[in-house]
Structure 1
Amino acid sequence: MRFTHTCVTVAAAAGVLALTGTATAFGAASPAADSDAVFLQTIHQANLAEIAAGKDARTHATTDCVKRVADIIVRDHTTLDSKGAALAKSKGITMAKEPSAAQQKQLSALKSKNGTAAYDSAWLKDQSSGHQQALALIDKELKSGKDSQIRAAAQAARPVVAAHLKMVEGGVCHAPTESGSPQR
């Protein structure tokens, strides 16, 4: 696998893992639930997935760059999730305890590449996909959310997630060397 990305995510969501659709990637919510509550629940699961993926990369990535990006993602998503969970609690919204089954399956698939250059490349690709989905979810909340506090939380998270996307898609980590291994 060719390393095409340059070194990762945050804020309100991200969905580590090459996820294929917001509902599937972040976990489907009850159709009867209001959209603001669904946003908080979905972003929470995305944060949980990002934190888990970041912790995994700290241990299994081969480059210092990916490990540094993973540290940033874990730090930022932990902060974002803490704020989102407090907001959800204040509004009586129940939150999941772990990433969705689809997110867990995606992380398991990534683990099969532990300690290889393919891991770093796949992790960056998954982070890109997850952060793109998170931004789409945040933008939807900003456009149509009804609760001003939840919209404010989404607004605050947006630049964090956008910064993570920029990190994983371009410019932080270098392309592979001639040998095919990413530069450290």
Structure 2
Amino acid sequence: MRSNRRAAESKVPRTIAVIVAVCAVIATVLIVTRGGDDEASASPTPAGAAARGGSEQSGAAGYGHSSGVPHGTGAQEDAAADDPSGQTGSQPVTEVDKTFLVKVRQAGLWEIPAGRLAQTNASSEAVKRAGLHLMDGHSKLDQLVREDAKILGVAIPDEATAEQQGWVKQMENARGAEFDRLFANLLRSSHGKIFATIGEVRAATQNDLIRRHARQANQTVLDHLEVLEDTGLVDRATFTDVETAVTPQ
């Protein structure tokens, strides 16, 4: 009897221990489950909202390439900024717009060679520096004008005018101080006249591509005006000639 009683008494603590352990497991499961539900309710993110957010991010990332303007360089992003509708190519192109593109093209065709000549024929460091600015600025503009002309269907020349070719010939035959003065005055006169034309085109054009091109040309020509004037070699007669040319008659 005593052994049976002892066995029964020993089973009681074991049973109690098992019950306590089971209760502890159940309580833990309830706490974890409730905590997960609380987190879900605190930050509701529907699947639709997540998908919508992903599409908005991908759309923003591709915005710079959605303009529809088929530029092959960084010019495409500029065109997209000016014309997010992608309708640049269908906008009107006036005769003034076409003439503007032709003049920008012709300017590069003689001013880039003039800049090269400054590196070999000039004696003034300021003139050589101006020549480098011309080479860099007009190389970029020439690439831009060829792209824009192709998009807009405008025919542009492959050579400078006869007068411009004559100016290059004069500089080829000059050296030292003679070259310096000839270079500074010929280029300052040319840039002063085209600068006024750029302003007229920018003010009146209805085409976003031409408007962007005029802005770039304006910045480039202004830089060239300043470096040419910094040579200290531009004659008063050159300024007078430009003033006469740009003053409305």
> So what's the TM-score if we normalise by structure 1?
0.70
Spell out the pairing of 1:111-130 with structure 2 (5 A cutoff): 111-113=172-174, 115-130=175-190
**Any gaps of 5 or more consecutive residues in structure 1?**
1-32, 176-184
Separation in 2 of the partners of 1:122 and 1:141? 29
Separation in 2 of the partners of 1:120 and 1:156? 27
Separation in 1 of the partners of 2:160 and 2:127? 22
Q: Among residues 58, 61, 75, which one is paired with 2:122 in the alignment? A: 61
Partner of 2:96: 35
| Residue 142 in structure 1 maps to residue 171 in structure 2 | no
**How far apart are residue 65 of structure 1 and its match?**
2.4
Q: Is the 8 A contact 2:195 2:221 kept in 1?
A: yes
1:121-153 residue CA offsets vs partner (Å, 9 max, x unmatched): 110111110110120121121122232211111
User: Would you identify which runs of 4 or more consecutive aligned residues in structure 1 move more than 3 Å?
Assistant: none
Q: Is the 8 A contact 2:114 2:171 kept in 1?
A: no
| Residue 158 in structure 1 maps to residue 218 in structure 2 | yes
* RMSD of equivalent CA atoms: 1.6
**How far apart are residue 41 of structure 1 and its match?**
0.8
Determine what percentage of the aligned residue pairs are the same residue. 29
Count of equivalent residues: 140
Matched residue type, 1:39? F
| Residue 48 in structure 1 maps to residue 104 in structure 2 | no
Q: Is the 8 A contact 2:101 2:145 kept in 1?
A: yes
Q: Is the 8 A contact 2:112 2:138 kept in 1?
A: yes
1:93-132 residue CA offsets vs partner (Å, 9 max, x unmatched): 111111111100122123232x220110110111110110
Partner of 1:168: 228
Q: Is the 8 A contact 1:58 1:70 kept in 2?
A: yes
Query: RCO (CA 8 Å, sep 6+): is it higher in 1 or 2?
Result: 1
- Please give the secondary structure, in 1, of the residue aligned with 2:228: helix
**How far apart are residue 174 of structure 1 and its match?**
5.8
Q: Is the 8 A contact 1:48 1:99 kept in 2?
A: yes
Matched residue type, 1:37? K
Separation in 2 of the partners of 1:91 and 1:81? 15
Q: Which structure shows the higher helix fraction?
A: 2
Separation in 2 of the partners of 1:56 and 1:105? 14
Separation in 2 of the partners of 1:152 and 1:101? 29
Matched residue type, 1:161? V
Separation in 2 of the partners of 1:174 and 1:128? 11
**How far apart are residue 50 of structure 1 and its match?**
1.1
